[in-house]
Amino acid sequence: MRKTALDCVYKLAKIDERVVFVGSDLGPGVLDKMKTEFPQRFFMEGVSEQYIVGMAAGLAMEGFIPYVNTIATFLTRRCYEQVAVDLCIHDLPVRLIANGGGGVYAPLGPTHLAIEDIAIMRALPNMAVVAPCDADEMNRLMMSTLEWPHPIYIRLGKGGDKIVSEEKNGFELGKLILMRSGTDGMFVTTGVMTQLALETAEVLKIDGVNVGVVHMHTIKPFDAAGVISAIENVKAVVTVEEHIVNGGLGSALLETCSDLRPELLPKIVRVGIPDKFATEYGSQNSLLKHWGITSDTLVGAMMKKLGG
């Protein structure tokens, strides 16, 4: 997914002279093609996220579209004021490409685990928050970003993820995709958790439970009308996110229903990362298990809500 995102920056740079790339001491060889062909629009800066966000703002003020890339925690926690003031108050078209959403960097511990990034980015006016489910969707998202006039936070999964998105569904920022329809229950998901939800829906089907999957690649702006339409006629809704349960996708759905359709609230349950920093290392999968985000727990949550 990350490789696709960066390849897209190169593709975008080829078709639009406004596109610049800003990295913060990334690994060797990153975007070498862009560096070679467009050296003046390739900036590999130091370990200095406060500065690079401000610098990107300055470039955007003059008409450029900066794509800024580094590890998600550094692009959110480290420079939150710069993101808020320089990008969001000025409402500039800077794109933050954040590596390692959720448990991707499991072996590296809690300093590198972006567990609350969606919550804090979503709290900022003017910021869009997007989490594609696979590399194909990342490609569609990235190629649609040139004309969005506001800042965008793009959350990346691990990479090498199974492709579950479909070309025919396209990609429109702020518009959810119904990946699978269902009559009993609905998983509302974002990012790579859509893959887990689709697998789980197949498991439930074996038991005769008809569950759909709504993929909300865009958490902000939130597709309120779309999601309400998708969940209003099912009996149970489980939100699934590789993110802390406070402030993420599940919270956004609860807020939306509380404001617009409070009678839907009782059938919603959230599955996500508990409100604590990770205490284990291992792998992304082992952390997900530790956090209770597995197909088994999704089945359990759904069946409990369905009264099964």
Partner 1 sequence: MPMDDRSKLLRRYVIDAMRGGGRGHLGSSMSMIEILRVLYDSVLKYDAKNPESTDRDRFVLSKGHGCLALYAILADKGFLPISELESFCRPTSRLGGHPERGKVPGVEASTGALGHGLPIAVGLALAMRLQKRSSRVFVLTGDGEINEGSNWEAGMAASKHKLSNLTVMVDYNKLQSYGKTSEVLDLEPLVDKFKSFGFVTHEVDGHDVAALEEIFKKLPFSDSAPSAIICHTIKGKGFPFAEGNPEWHHKSGMTETDIQQMYDCL
Stretch that binds partner 1, among 81-89, 96-104, 245-253, 276-284 (CB under 8 A): 81-89
Q: Is 100 in the site for partner 1 (CB under 8 A)?
A: no
Among positive and negative, which fits the CA dihedral 53, 42, 160, 219?
positive
- Angle (nearest 5°) at CA 80 between 160 and 136: 20
Closest by CA to 55, choosing from 26, 31, 18, 21, is: 21
Min. distance of Cβ 180 from partner 1 in angstroms?
44
Min. distance of Cβ 81 from partner 1 in angstroms?
6
Closer residue to partner 1 in complex, CB, 61/108: 61
Q: Is 57 in the site for partner 1 (CB under 8 A)?
A: yes
Q: How do 65-71 and 95-99 pair as beta strands?
A: parallel
d(CA 198, CA 194): 6
> Binding partner 1 by CB under 8 A: which of 50, 256, 283, 295?
50
Footprint of partner 1 on residues 18-47 (CB under 8 A)? 20, 40-41, 43, 45-46
Closer residue to partner 1 in complex, CB, 78/243: 78
Cβ neighbours for 277, distance < 8 A, ≥ 6 positions apart: 110, 113, 115
Q: Angle formed by the axes of helices 135-142 and 2-15, to 10°?
A: 30
> Binding partner 1 by CB under 8 A: which of 11, 33, 35, 90?
90
Burial code (b: 16+ CB inside 10 Å, e: under 16) for 215-231 equals: bbbbbbebbbebbeebb
> Binding partner 1 by CB under 8 A: which of 32, 37, 81, 202?
81
> Binding partner 1 by CB under 8 A: which of 58, 125, 170, 262?
58
Q: Is 87 in the site for partner 1 (CB under 8 A)?
A: no
Closer residue to partner 1 in complex, CB, 85/146: 85
Closer residue to partner 1 in complex, CB, 37/296: 37
Min. distance of Cβ 109 from partner 1 in angstroms?
24
Q: How far, CA to CA in Å, does 5 sit from each of 86, 149, 157, 196? A: 23, 19, 11, 22
Torsion of CA 92, 5, 38, 46, to 10 degrees: 70
Stretch that binds partner 1, among 86-94, 151-159, 182-190, 237-245 (CB under 8 A): 86-94
Q: Is 86 in the site for partner 1 (CB under 8 A)?
A: yes
Q: What is the DSSP letter of 308?
A: -
Q: Is 7 in the site for partner 1 (CB under 8 A)?
A: no
Q: Is 187 in the site for partner 1 (CB under 8 A)?
A: no
Q: What is the DSSP letter of 163?
A: P
Q: Is 172 in the site for partner 1 (CB under 8 A)?
A: no
d(CA 201, CA 185): 9
> Binding partner 1 by CB under 8 A: which of 10, 42, 64, 171?
64
Closest by CA to 250, choosing from 275, 219, 228, is: 219
- Interface with partner 1 by CB under 8 A: which residues? 20, 40-41, 43, 45-46, 48, 50-64, 81-82, 85-86, 89-90
